[in-house]
Structure 1
Amino acid sequence: MLVLLTGAGVFVYWRVEYALNRALDIELRRATQTIAPLVRADGTMSDVDRANATGADWQVLVPGGIVRDRGGAAPPHALVKPSHMPDRGAVSVDRGALLPVGAVRPLRVRVVRASPDGPWLAVAVRRAHRDEALRELLAQLLIAGFGSLLIAGVVGDLLARSALRPVERYRSRAAEIAAGGQGLRLDVPTDRDDEVTRLGHTLNEMLDAQEAALQREQQFVEDASHELRTPLTLVKARIQLARSRTRSVAEHEKTLDELDQDVERLVSLSTQLLEQGDPAARRAGGADLGAVARQVAEARDAARRGVRVRVEGDVTTDADAHTLERIVANLLDNALLHGTTPVELDVRRDGGWAVLTVTDAGTGMSPEMLSQATRRFARAPEARSRPGSGLGLALVEQLVTAAGGQVRLCSDGQHTIHGAPVDLPCDHDDRMRVTVLLPAT
């Protein structure tokens, strides 16, 4: 504001000064046109009364700045310096300062040469009214500029405080949240839609996401602690039992075998937990779902264990081979552990989707369990006596969802769907069936 007001004041002052000087120059030209023809070649005035009738002060100067003749209120000494006496044309000179007001009478002087080889004529008019007007203008500009700057500063401060008041509320509430407040959100006005309110909504959404992630993490830690407590307690019990009395080498070998199974179960559980830690990690390139299904089945001796693999054509997906292997392995292991043979593993292509279906001849799941099967550590009561951690289907769902696909769980005519929307009907079959749909390439 200071720069703007200063610039505006300088412009106004310059325009008013220019207009006042122009009026004085017009008066000087008129007086010069009247007086110049009256100057003789020797530097004397032929008609002093006519020259004085113009109301201007005048001097006739000869080389060296010597006053040969004068009239009006012109002083005996030259009004201008010799350097201001042009050989031709005219020169306008201001005599006396605007500020501070001095002893020299303020004049505007016009100097011309009366004839090509003759003396010079200096005509002057009083500048007092012009200087007074400029001093008054300067004072008014200073007062108006200072007042405008003061008002602008106060109004700007009020506007800035009003605009930043929501930010201060956000800061105060954020400090409460940082201090450990639970369930707190930023107080965002509902009747406004500007940058600050949109920032508040975005921060609230971020807080919601953070709280949801924290709850999931807390739930995961609690569930993992619960699931790890049982095998760790069992390992500790076996060790205490082995130490309770003297045992033979064969009995120690049996105890070590049992401990090895328990440790293997812990390793498997920890591996699944680590895989769930980054379920969306993907590698570059697609892979053939049918080829991966055959490899996983062969690694588990599927034919001997009652698993039939059927692949229809080339089924290439956008997912990488490592992700497909984790999906197929978890579904097949789940069917072999909790289902009943024969197990069918079918791979086909349906429109733009690669379809993997794992079907077993077991009793399936109850409707309540079917809706919770993809939750971490979810296990049916009858499955708790069998090996497993309840992480297989949860990991499959997260991997498929991260790849833009869908997981369908079907049992006894009931269906649950997880993931992206897919315009394909569910298979109506009473058997236990898990279907995975992935974008095909």
Structure 2
Amino acid sequence: MRSLRSRVGRLPLRVRLVAGFAVAMLVVLIGAGAFVYWRVDFALDRGLDTELSQATTTLRPLVGADGRVERRTTADATGAAWQVLDESGSVRDHGGPAGADAMVGTRTLARAARSPQTVNIGDFLPASHKPYRLQITQARSAPRLFLLVGVRRDHRDEALRELLVQLSVAGLGALLVTSFVGDRLARAALRPVERYRRRAEDIAAGASGLRLDVPLRRDDEVTRLGHTLNDMLAALERALDRERQFVNEASHELRTPITLLTSRIQLARRRPRTQAEHERILEELDVDLGRLARLAEQLLDLGASHADDAGGPGRTADLAATVGRVIEQRRLADPGWAGETRVELPAEQARTAVSDGALERILTNLLDNARVHGTPPYAVRVDAPADGWTRLMVTDAGGGMPPALLATATRRFARADEARSRPGAGLGLALVWALVADADGELRLCFAGQHARSGATAPVACDHGPEMTVTVLLPAAPDDAG
């Protein structure tokens, strides 16, 4: 059975569909033919049984105690073949087309002793020369005698054989027609699939910008599959474009520190140097390697998925507590930074549907970005300005961003021209945006009356001064979320 399934599974889908349709149709045709045959057979047998009952009614009173039939003229007038048998199967009398040889055996007679029997003798296929339908009844009980009355089945059998031929021919024709129609329908249904396959083959071979040809005015399963595949292709192209852009930008950004490292090493090799000079060169190389390591770490963080770190079922944290902890850690590490930073935290919890680790990464990147590109004083503020939302604001008094950069600042490696001389690779805000987007939040960049928004649209008005302000709006955690 498993081998048969394996062989059937290797057949083309169209062949399997047509074969399944043909098998189902064959079962229906056999069932319908069997029902028609049974009804016709029943009707023909009922007609013969009526004739037999009438002849039996006429002959039974004519059987004498010795097994002889009186008034043979009346008996022969029935037109039926008849025999009178004793319980041993010997013929006592006969008439009509019936001969002197018993038409049934003793077993049949034994059953007739209990109840009247109706039997057929003579083969249906192949056609017998003497086909009869017999009705056997007990004519006398002492001595026990049996009356056999029979009528020929020639017309009945011929009609049934003709019916079998007609049903077979009609069924075979119907099966061929339905199989042909099923094949046409299967071809028509699978034609779009084959067209999709050829187009997908072209796309797999390297063709870009191609889409599956999906009819616009149809809405069936294959059409919906085509739309879904087109959406998938578009998403894959966007993902490939982003990855290609990321690789190009990362290569560009990595080229500068690597070139600088190579140049320093080449300069160090040009002439003999003292131990102090070598130590100074090693310190410069260590700084460059540190920058390169931080850049690589940022690229890895940005390329990784943040869905597990940001929002999701069961991932909640207190924004106020997380911000307070991070600020306290920075104050301990850099006491001078404390005098330059103002922190405003709410008295109540500000629970948000984001993990504690994601909140810490968001705040750390915003503080580092403000310290590198802004100027003190800095301000960090946490509140819950609207139902369902929490807000984190980081402000600095620096020169801010030009309006054109506000709209693109969350892209990878986006930096103003004057910022290229400062540390960093333009990945801080990109990391923040990736985490905020995974949490279904909103990121706002505001400076000098200009605003740029990314992500969800929270029902919260911009609350800022003339300073450079980065606002992160995150979904609040449900009341029963711990």
Given the two structures, how large is their TM-score scaled by the length of structure 2?
A: 0.89
- What does residue range 86-105 of structure 1 map to in structure 2 within 5 Å? 86-103=112-129, 105=130
CA distance in structure 1 between the aligned counterparts of 2:221 and 2:442, rounded to whole angstroms: 38
- What does residue range 421-432 of structure 1 map to in structure 2 within 5 Å? 421-432=457-468
**Structure 2 alignment gaps of length 5 or more:** 1-24, 478-482
Instruction: Please report how far the alpha carbon of residue 241 of structure 1 lies from its aligned counterpart in structure 2 after TM superposition.
Output: 1.0
- 1:115 pairs with 2:140: yes
- 1:279 pairs with 2:306: yes
Counterpart of 2:275, as a letter, is V
> Does structure 2 retain, via aligned residues, the 8 Å contact 1:43–1:119?
yes
- 1:358 pairs with 2:394: yes
Counterpart of 1:280, as a letter, is A
> Does structure 2 retain, via aligned residues, the 8 Å contact 1:357–1:435?
yes
Equivalent residue number for residue 19 of structure 2? none
Counterpart of 1:390, as a letter, is G
- 1:239 pairs with 2:265: yes
Instruction: Please report how far the alpha carbon of residue 82 of structure 1 lies from its aligned counterpart in structure 2 after TM superposition.
Output: 1.6
| 3-state SS of paired residue (2:424) | coil
Equivalent residue number for residue 342 of structure 2? 308
Counterpart of 2:47, as a letter, is A
| 3-state SS of paired residue (2:383) | strand
- 1:226 pairs with 2:252: yes
2:196 to 161, 170, 188: 170
Q: Deviations over 1:348-405 (max 9, x none)?
A: 1223222110111112111101111000000000000000010000110110111121
- 1:317 pairs with 2:352: yes
CA distance in structure 1 between the aligned counterparts of 2:119 and 2:210, rounded to whole angstroms: 76
- 1:252 pairs with 2:278: yes
CA distance in structure 2 between the aligned counterparts of 1:9 and 1:81, rounded to whole angstroms: 34
CA distance in structure 2 between the aligned counterparts of 1:290 and 1:64, rounded to whole angstroms: 112
Instruction: Please report how far the alpha carbon of residue 291 of structure 1 lies from its aligned counterpart in structure 2 after TM superposition.
Output: 2.5
Q: What value does the CA root-mean-square deviation take over the aligned residues?
A: 1.4
Counterpart of 2:259, as a letter, is T
> Does structure 2 retain, via aligned residues, the 8 Å contact 1:280–1:398?
no
Counterpart of 1:425, as a letter, is A
> Does structure 2 retain, via aligned residues, the 8 Å contact 1:111–1:120?
yes
- 1:182 pairs with 2:208: yes
1:330 to 365, 370, 386: 365
Q: Deviations over 1:174-211 (max 9, x none)?
A: 11111111111111111211111111111111111111
Q: Percent identity?
A: 56
Instruction: Please report how far the alpha carbon of residue 321 of structure 1 lies from its aligned counterpart in structure 2 after TM superposition.
Output: 1.4
Equivalent residue number for residue 370 of structure 1? 406
CA distance in structure 1 between the aligned counterparts of 2:272 and 2:149, rounded to whole angstroms: 136
Instruction: Please report how far the alpha carbon of residue 63 of structure 1 lies from its aligned counterpart in structure 2 after TM superposition.
Output: 2.5
Aligned pair count?
Answer: 440
> Does structure 2 retain, via aligned residues, the 8 Å contact 1:279–1:395?
no
| 3-state SS of paired residue (1:119) | strand
> Does structure 2 retain, via aligned residues, the 8 Å contact 1:413–1:428?
no
> Does structure 2 retain, via aligned residues, the 8 Å contact 1:114–1:120?
yes
CA distance in structure 1 between the aligned counterparts of 2:62 and 2:224, rounded to whole angstroms: 83
Q: Deviations over 1:14-39 (max 9, x none)?
A: 22111111111111011101110111
Counterpart of 1:14, as a letter, is W
> Does structure 2 retain, via aligned residues, the 8 Å contact 1:88–1:116?
no
Instruction: Please report how far the alpha carbon of residue 303 of structure 1 lies from its aligned counterpart in structure 2 after TM superposition.
Output: 5.4
Given the two structures, how large is their TM-score scaled by the length of structure 1?
A: 0.97
Worse-superposed segment, 64-73 or 369-378: 64-73
Counterpart of 1:372, as a letter, is T
